[in-house]
Amino acid sequence: MVKPTAIKNNIRALRFAADEMTQDALAKEIGVTRQTIIAIEQGRYSPSLEAAFKIALALGVGLEDVFTYAPPASKE
Amino acid sequence: MVKPTAIKNNIRALRFAADEMTQDALAKEIGVTRQTIIAIEQGRYSPSLEAAFKIALALGVGLEDVFTYAPPASKE
DNA sequence: GCTTAATGTATACTATTTTTTACACTGTGC
DNA sequence: GCACAGTGTAAAAAATAGTATACATTAAGC
């Protein structure tokens, strides 16, 4: 099963909004590696709740401003 | 290192508020096992962002109404 | 043309979350 | 007493998230 993450985020946009913060800077600020930021930005996997909270905190916005859950589209 | 989850939740309270929903019912509704609900309720680990979103949805509240991040208390 | 910063890709590895199965405990109804 | 619902515990295995390292690409500055 593939399940390509039902969660979207606008970390990239918010990074630029937040004083042009680089992936590396963000990664360091929240205590993860750059790889993690890249993978999350690209939606390759959704972060842990903890990582998500830290990211929102670092970007100065609420959790739900960064990540949005796209429900699997029920058939209707 | 132990890292006992910096995230708190009030799933249990919200379950009762939401029509006395049982752990089993909630688990089924969001597509995880009962074990997962128990572990999360007890704070044994924090869920994935996806699981967290589903739980909030099933309980009819916002993500940040269910889970709260307790920052590691900076020294001040 | 060389260097550097920022981003992306890949792979192997570790850690954490989630599942599965199985059993224990408590309260309620019969 | 026995059955059942709801909750809890435990441990192994599978799935997913995150790390570490190394290398490629692009744009900017010198």
ipTM: 0.83
Q: Give the nearest partner residue to B7 out of A6, A49, A64, using CB atoms.
A: A49
pLDDT, tens only, B20-73: 799 999 999 999 999 999 999 999 999 999 999 999 999 999 999 999 998 765
pLDDT, tens only, A19-76: 879 999 999 999 999 999 999 999 999 999 999 999 999 999 999 999 999 876 544 4
Categorize the per-residue pLDDT at B3 as very low, low, confident or very high, splitting at 50, 70 and 90.
low
Q: A9 to chain B: which residues are within 8 Å by CB?
A: none
The answer to whether A48 and A36 have CB atoms below 8 angstroms apart is: no
- The model's pTM is 0.85
Alpha-helical segments (H) within B1-76: 11-17, 23-30, 34-41, 49-59, 63-66
CB contact under 8 A, B69 and A53: yes
Provide the 10 A C-beta neighbour count for residue A50: 21
Across the A/B interface, how many CB contacts are shorter than 8 Å? 48
